[in-house]
Structure 1
Amino acid sequence: MRKALIALVMLVAGATLVLAATATGARTAQTAGTAIPGCAKASLDLVSAGTLTVGADNPAYPPWFGFTEKPTKPWKVSDPYNGKGYESAVAYAVARQLGFLKKQVKWTVVPFNNSYRPGKKPFDFYITQVSYLPERAQAVDFSNAYYFVNQSVVGRSGTSIAKVKTIAGLKRYRLGAQLGTTSYKYIVDYIKPSSKPLVYDTNDAAIQALKNGQIDGIVVDLPTAFYVIAVQLDDGTIVGKLPTRGTKERFGMVFEKGNPLKKCVNKALNNLWRNGTIKRLQRLYLARAGAPDLK
């Protein structure tokens, strides 16, 4: 019953959000804002002149990208071209700030772990929940924050981990996370479980391991956790939200090292924070239900 209610609430909320996003998209899809001073399209260092090429992982999941029944090839699950989902909407909002029409934005598939490796990039910027880390910033550049992150633990209802109230209580459990993520780093640096955490190439693989009983819990960012328990795990539950440790974690767009486009994107993001667009999109796509705090 709880699962059905969650799914129903998400479906109703999702329908409302889609209507709102569609109405907004109808007003802005074919119009572009005035380019930021000093950031005219002709002066930008782009992969393809006149086109803003944006990289994303595939599949790209809600709530970061909008679910699509028949996404444009090669996209799976979500289609970033629809402008729905938080990261897709932010990318298009930045593009509009820089003077690009929606049709002048091109999306390209880049695996998450490849996004912050050194070397030439097939994108102008990349947006798929990449957290800023000093070691990553040695190989690529990051924009200012477009989202501040809390990690969380997802388990299965009815298991002992679901009753845990503290970080210390997690230590005896086997945990897992996606390879190369700050979720895995949080496990190693702050939870420090008694058994070595397991790593997976994708969140899907980690979730399958949880279903199979190979691990007791997975660590993911909080908005992803709500999607996991509502859609991907029939008996999923959020054990709790993890407190911030060290510097506040933030998602930033990723750029090839030294690309001056970063300065223009930062100006665009500053405008979007200042005019309330970022907060509006967070309310639209990342509205949070309650989650207990792990102390």
Structure 2
Amino acid sequence: MKTILKLAAGALIVTATAFAAQAQTVKVGIAAEPYPPFASPSASGAWEGWEVEIAMAICAEAKLDCEITPVSWDGIIPALTTKRIDFIAASMSITEERMQTIDFSDKYYNTPTVVVGAKGVAMDATPEGLKGKILGVQVSTVHENYAKKHFGATAAEIKEYQTQDEANQDLAAGRIDATQADSIALDAFLDTDQGKACCEVKGTVADDPDVLGLGVGFGVRKEDTELKEKLNAAIKGIRENGTFEAISKPWFDFDIYGG
């Protein structure tokens, strides 16, 4: 009888442990800085935006109990590797450099990179077009790396900012000549009254997959292969069942998944 009771107790412990593991909250790391239309805090403080909705749809499809966890952008990879968060959903491009430290899911969107500058100022998104210009970029992004590689020799300065919004504000104020970022993020700026008044798209930069990456994916720890597989299956699932399109349609008039 004692043996049976011990076995039963052991089974209950195993079952309880398994249940606790299943119920564990998965912390989804997003950049704490507003990055519309992907993620921004509402008036109530709740985070909203296309990427937030996609991340939560992925969690629902993968049957994960997820919690949005804002982290400073320049500390988001360390937050992942030290297990403060469980995966990154912050418009992070899949690059070889980042894959030396972390792994990625399959891509869930891919959009062009553009240069935006002041209206009436002649320039384009080439080294010659940005000759002598001050170009603002967000620090620790593929855009910073791209600008330094392709425009560093001709631009007067590659100025770094902690957030893209700070670069946009300096552009509007005339403290820099142009900024480079994802086309969707800069479209959101150009749709504001301030953006409409001051600035315009000067062109799309020439592609460089080695720097700009192969689209945007969810960042995961290298050892978390099971979570990566769940995320990949969920990305495929919401694209096949129409959820991805249903979420995207109110935000964009084109296919953000990209080529």
TM-score bracket, shorter-length normalisation = 0.7 to 0.9
1:124 maps onto 2:124 in alignment:
no
Specify every segment of 5 or more residues in structure 1 that has no aligned partner in the other structure, as ranges: 1-41, 73-78, 289-295
CA distance in 1: counterparts of 2:25 and 2:157, whole angstroms? 45
Aligned CA RMSD, in angstroms, stands at 2.6
Is 1:90–2:60 an aligned residue pair? no
Output the CA distance in 2 between the equivalents of 1:140 and 1:208.
Answer: 32
User: Which digits, 9 at most, give the CA deviation of each residue in 1:252-272, with x for residues without a partner?
Assistant: 111223113111111111222
Q: Are 2:29 and 2:86, in contact at CA under 8 Å, matched by a contact in 1?
A: yes
Which residue is equivalent to 2:182?
221
The code of the aligned residue for 1:264 comes to K
Letter in 2 for 1:189: K
Give the aligned partner of residue 286 of structure 1: 252
Is the aligned partner of 1:179 residue 2:139? yes
In the TM superposition, residue 56 of structure 1 has moved relative to its aligned partner by 0.9
- Quote the offset at 1:184 in angstroms: 1.3
**Partner deviation per Cα, 1:101-132 (whole Å, 9 max, x = no partner):** xxx43111211122223731212211111111
Q: Aligned letter for 1:69?
A: A
Note the C-alpha offset of 1:167. 5.2
CA distance in 2, matches of 1:115, 1:140: 11
Which residue type is aligned with residue 132 of structure 1? I
- Bigger strand fraction: 2
Q: Write the distance in 2 (CA, Å) between the matches of 1:239 and 1:107.
A: 35
- Rg bigger for which structure? 2
SS at match of 1:160: coil
- Tell me how far apart the structure 2 counterparts of residues 170 and 194 of structure 1 sit (CA, whole Å): 6
Question: What is the Cα deviation at residue 212 of structure 1?
Answer: 3.3
Query: How many residue pairs are counted as aligned between the two chains?
Result: 230
Contact 1:55 1:124 in 2 (8 A): yes
User: Deviations along 1:42-80, whole A, 9 cap, x unmatched?
Assistant: 58978xx432321111233321136623324xxxxxx23
Answer yes or no: is 1:210 the counterpart of 2:184. Answer: no
Distance 1:89 1:98 in 2: 14
Residue 44 and residue 157 in structure 1: after superposition, are their counterparts in 2 closer, same or farther (change >3 A)? farther
Instruction: Give the corresponding residue for 2:257.
Output: none
CA distance in 2 between counterparts of 1:137 and 1:166 reads: 28
- The one of 257, 262, 270 equivalent to 2:228 is 262
1:210 Cα deviation (Å)?
1.6
The equivalent residue for 1:153 is 115
Where does residue 10 of structure 2 map in the other structure?
A: none
| Structure number with higher relative contact order (C-alpha < 8 Å, ≥ 6 residues apart) | 2
Q: Distance between the aligned counterparts of 1:165 and 1:122, measured in 2?
A: 38
1:139 aligns with 2:139: no
- Equivalent of 1:246 in 209, 215, 228: 209
Alpha-carbon distance in 2 for matches of 1:243, 1:217: 16
Question: Which runs of 5 or more residues in structure 2 are unaligned?
Answer: 1-17, 255-259
User: Alignment identity in percent?
Assistant: 26
Q: CA deviation at 1:203?
A: 1.1
Q: CA 1:109–1:196 in structure 2 vs 1: closer, same or farther (change >3 Å)?
A: same
Query: Is the counterpart of residue 110 in structure 1 residue 71 in structure 2?
Result: yes
Counterpart of 2:34, as a letter, is: A
Paired residues of 1:165 and 1:240 also in contact (CA < 8 A): yes
**45 and 87 in structure 1: CA distance in 2 versus 1, 3 angstrom threshold:** farther
Alpha-carbon deviations, 1:182-205, whole Å to 9, x = none? 111221223443323111111122
CA deviations 1:230-272 (Å, max 9, x no partner) are: 2253412122222322355311111223113111111111222
In structure 1, what residue type is equivalent to 2:82?
K
- In structure 2, the CA distance between the partners of 1:195 and 1:155, relative to structure 1 (3 Å rule), is same
Deviation at 1:177, TM superposition (A): 0.2
